[in-house]
Amino acid sequence: MQNVADPVDVALLNDWQRDFPIVPAPFAILAVRLNISEDDVLQRLDRMRSAGRITRVGATCAPNTVSASTLAALQAGPEELEQVAEIVGDQPGVNHSYLREDAWNIWFVATGPDRSHVNHTLARISERTNRQVLDLRLVRPFNVDLGFRMNGKAGAVPEPRPADLSAIRDGDRDILQCLTRGLPLKSRPWAAMARHLDRSEVEVLARVAALHDAGVIARLGVIVRHRALGWTSNAMCVWDVSHEVAGEVGPVLARVPGVTLCYERRSVEGVWPYRLYNMIHARSRPEAMTTLDQVRTLKGLKEARHKVLFSTRCFKQTGALINVKKGKAA
């Protein structure tokens, strides 16, 4: 898909990937800032969602706060690839699934309301594919913001916000599940969500604000599909370093321009020794490799064994599964 050329669309995507207004008529705020009508804002977002340039206007939650998740991987040969990928994608808790250049080539994120749900998802996939599944649990995040600058320039990485889990109240999971699926593109989206949840608009707004302030909602705004917007050369880099080295280099690695995600995960003894991960999202493979060359100069990584796994195909990309209850769309 071609890059976005319309300057208003660029501003809409670039400026509203976070800090979406938590007010009764948020799209009217965007309209004033963009000097267009509210109807125009809604139509543009709807058009970009239909075209696959954005997934939703909604939220991402801090990892393992209101739900559980893990990164996982398995192996599939060319003749089995489609079947195995379909089995993985059919699991409702799998919200991201990619093909990457490695013997461990199908990578996915399994989510659920708790760790037991995630464990059962991995077990079902292992049983139905007759394959070992690597369970690469998060140890600590250094940058999980995953925002994209539409002008191609590197933006400052937001400081990590510790999530205050004491802020969570009964009923918040339902609100967060709605937000991971996406706000309705209506003039009063919070009111529409409130009707869906059989709650008041005032109450929903108060809870969203509280969860955002507490860091449970990590990012609230336009969630883009990076491939559709031009970031087509995306590499997951994994580093065989100790827990101590990961803690020293991780925060530095997270701030290298071009690095969009960075975290430490558990290794799998005898199979997968890598603990430190970073994602590079770039517009071309040479651009990604230029970023990797910078990363390789960091103290602690210069001599570290590593792999670079470019993504070649996206099988699935949706919001996380927070609640297993099924409900009507807002």
Q: What are 122-131's pLDDT values in tens digits?
A: 999 999 999 9
Read off the pTM. 0.84
Is 274 in contact with 306 (CB distance < 8 Å)? yes
How crowded is residue 294: how many other Cβ atoms within 10 Å of its Cβ?
14
The whole-number pLDDT of residue 196 equals 96
Q: What is the pLDDT of residue 224?
A: 87
Please identify, in words, the CATH class of the domain defined by 7-61+164-224.
Answer: mainly alpha
Q: For residue 40, which amino acid is it?
A: D
Predicted local confidence at residue 236, as pLDDT? 97
Compare 76 and 281 and report the one with higher pLDDT: 76
- Residue 38: pLDDT band (50, 70, 90) is very high
At 150, the pLDDT band (50, 70, 90 cuts) reads: low
What pLDDT is attached to residue 317?
A: 84
The pair of structure tokens assigned to 56 is: 């939703």
Segment 207-226, tens digit of pLDDT: 999 999 999 998 999 998 87
pLDDT attached to residue 182: 94
Higher pLDDT, 9 or 5: 9
Taking residue 308's Cβ as centre, other Cβ atoms within 10 Å add up to 16
Distance CA 72, CA 266 (A): 11
Q: Which of 171, 174, 221 is nearest to 330 (CA)?
A: 174
Q: What is the pLDDT of residues 177-209, one digit of tens each?
A: 999 999 999 999 999 999 999 999 999 999 999
* The pLDDT of residue 329 is above 70: no
Rounded to whole angstroms, how far apart are CA atoms 266 and 97? 19
Percentage, residues of the chain above pLDDT 70:
91
> For the chain, what is the mean pLDDT?
90
Whether 2 shows a pLDDT value over 60: the answer reads no
Say yes or no to pLDDT of 78 above 90: yes
Q: Distance between CA 193 and CA 276 in Å, rounded?
A: 39
pLDDT at 315 over 90: yes
Q: 83-92: long-range contacts at Cβ-Cβ below 8 A with a sequence spacing of 24 or more?
A: 84/129, 84/131, 85/315, 87/125, 87/128, 87/129, 88/125, 88/129, 88/315, 88/316, 89/315, 89/316, 91/121, 91/124, 91/125, 92/321
Confidence category of residue 297, pLDDT binned at 50, 70, 90:
very high
* pLDDT at residue 326 in the model: 44
Q: In the prediction, which pLDDT does 145 show?
A: 67
pLDDT computed for residue 160 by the predictor: 64
**Domains of the chain: which residue ranges?**
7-61+164-224
pLDDT band at 69 (very low <50, low <70, confident <90, very high): very high
Mean pLDDT of 41-69: 92
Nearest by Cα to 73 from 120, 130, 33, 131: 131
Over residues 75-90, the mean pLDDT reads: 97
Percent of the chain with pLDDT over 90: 75
Q: What is the CA radius of gyration of the chain?
A: 20
Model confidence at 148, pLDDT cuts 50, 70, 90, reads low
Given a cut of 80, whether residue 136 has pLDDT beyond it is yes
